[in-house]
Chain A
Amino acid sequence: MGVLPQPSASSESLVLRIWPCGETSVIASLLTQDHGYVKVIAKAARRPNSRLRALVEPGRLVSAEFSLDPSRELQYLRGGSVEKDPLGPGSTLEDSAFLQGALELVDRCRPHGGGSDDQDDHDPTAELFAICDAFIRVLSSRSCPHPDLAFFVFEWELLVSHGMAPEVAGCTACGLPPAEVSELTMWFSPAEGGLICGDCSRGDGVSSGKPLSLDALQIFESMAERQLDLADDIPFERPLRREIGAHLHNFLGYHLPGYRLPAALELLRARKDPNR
């Protein structure tokens, strides 16, 4: 093997995407904890007994060792170990769809800056990695009764990491906390940045967004407070799931450059009826 006198790095990483390269190699795009987005080539990873093979499967959390040559666009993956495999035995179509949905978002909506070279303390890609890490660990544990809720928490945190956290502690127009809103109807508005009370929703120049149910508000509140225990089997029925999903989708679409509904979520529309 060629010995390459390059500096190397070892970092917890999430495998985002892979592409075959040549006959036996694989190129992988990683989100690393310490070095931001890194593209690596795993030489001969598609050979049967390659020790790199297990490291280049999308969605896996790996402890990766790779070269770190700033003059190169492509680093060499040298070794490592698999930390978490979210699609192991017992996984479901939901796990797979939400996992790939998250990978797509992380790959497409990249925060600016990041990597260990940043001067200030805030490292957006390290923060993004932490969000992904938490999400993958929840999926891998199989202890989460609602992978969709775990995905929504991921989306929420993605907004937070981009500095776009929705405001749900009070009406974004008048500041009234939800408990004091006299009307039953509340609204969730991407353009206003979150909650809008009934009164303000009728105000001039206010973009009211879509109605927000009390159940959805409660979930958003616990997301904002980071008090949602994903191992809890809370009631999370289809209408509520749809509402939360739609609110977040609209919010992400409004605030996150490059966002679109992840293609993987279409997998959940699997039809059992052969005569479609």
Chain B
Amino acid sequence: MNRPGNGKDLNEGGEFQSPSLERLVRSLNRLPGLGRKSATRLALHLVAGSERTTVPAEELVAAIGEARDKVTNCERCGAITEPDPCRVCTSERRDTSLICIVATPIDVLPFEKAGFYRGRYFVLGGLLSPLDGVRAQDLPFGKLQDRIAEDEIKEVIIALDASVEGETTALYIQRLLEGRNLELTRLATGIPVGGALAYTDEVTLQRAFQFRRTF
């Protein structure tokens, strides 16, 4: 094992001859979307980059700290926000009779970025998954029902994943809201815009076919 040139005996700090750099890479590596390679590139940039091209470490640390302190989940809808309740919940220009149910706070972002939706949100914080131990009592269905009653909601839009969990949660919500005087709709599933028919899997194709529409 200790043959010279093997390299293993030399690299206590990983490939860098620096345990602290190795630690930084490992921390970054634990972030979603960052493989070891990208984490290394980022770490080297932060540590070895010149002052002009990189963010000073103190600034980065302060920004993370401040965001963690101030950012919260809106107590009404669950979206990520600094003012609480969030601007969507307090805006006069939003249609209060419309509510869109999403699984996570991140799911609100594409809607807000696209800007076409004028209603409000309700973030479930997860999806029903009995196999993984996520049960009905773990999700805020009672709060959802209260909210729908209080705000006199006229349309509930379910915007959940087209997975078993998403499907199950949608069916569960449908059961909960059965008999109420409101419209319950779901996002359509099918071939993505710009998607090639030849590469569409059979399930997606079948759903797109079943929900085909007249011109």
Contacts and interface: CB of A to CB of B under 8 A. Distances in A.
Contact of B176 (A54, A92, A107, A270): A270
Contacts, number: 90
A272 B171 contact: no
B128 interface: yes
A63 to B, nearest CB: 11
A74 interface: no
B194 to A, nearest CB: 11
Contacts of B32: 23
B145 interface: yes
Contacts of A54: 201-204
B131 A270 contact: no
Contact of A270 (B136, B167, B202): B136
B174 interface: yes
B179 A267 contact: no
B130 A267 contact: yes
Interface in A55-105: 57-60, 81-82, 85, 87-89, 91-93, 96-97, 100, 103-104
B168 interface: yes
A89 B167 CA distance: 10
A89 B142 contact: no
A62 to B, nearest CB: 10
Contacts of A89: 207, 210-211
Given A266-B130, A270-B136, A23 B35 contact: yes
B171 A93 contact: yes
A17 interface: yes
A264 interface: yes
Contacts of A103: 131
B196 to A, nearest CB: 9
A238 interface: no
Max chain B Cβ within 10 angstroms of own Cβ: one of A85, A93, A264, A276: A93
B130 A272 contact: no
B130 A263 contact: yes
Contacts of B136: 266-267, 269-270
Nearest to A54: B201
Interface residues of A, number: 37
A58 B131 contact: yes
A48 interface: yes
Contact of B131 (A48, A49, A82, A100): A100
A85 B207 CA distance: 11
A198 interface: no
Contacts of B146: 274
B51 to A, nearest CB: 32
B199 A49 contact: yes
B174 A93 contact: yes
B203 A82 contact: yes
A144 B35 CA distance: 48
Contacts of B210: 88-89
A51 interface: yes
Contacts of A272: 175-179
A51 B199 contact: yes
A112 interface: no
A51 B201 contact: yes
A88 B204 CA distance: 10
Interface in B146-185: 146, 149, 163-164, 167-168, 171-172, 174-179
Given A23-B35, A54-B202, A58-B131, A96 B168 contact: yes
Nearest to A99: B164
A82 B204 CA distance: 11
Interface of B: 32-33, 35, 128, 130-131, 133, 135-136, 142, 145-146, 149, 163-164, 167-168, 171-172, 174-179, 192, 195, 199, 201-204, 206-207, 210-211
Task: Rank and list the top 7 A-B pairs by shortest CB-CB distance, nearest first.
Answer: A274-B145, A54-B201, A264-B130, A263-B130, A93-B171, A270-B175, A96-B168
Given A100-B164, A263-B130, A272-B178, 9 more contacts: A49-B199, A54-B201, A91-B167, A91-B171, A92-B171, A100-B130, A263-B133, A264-B130, A271-B176
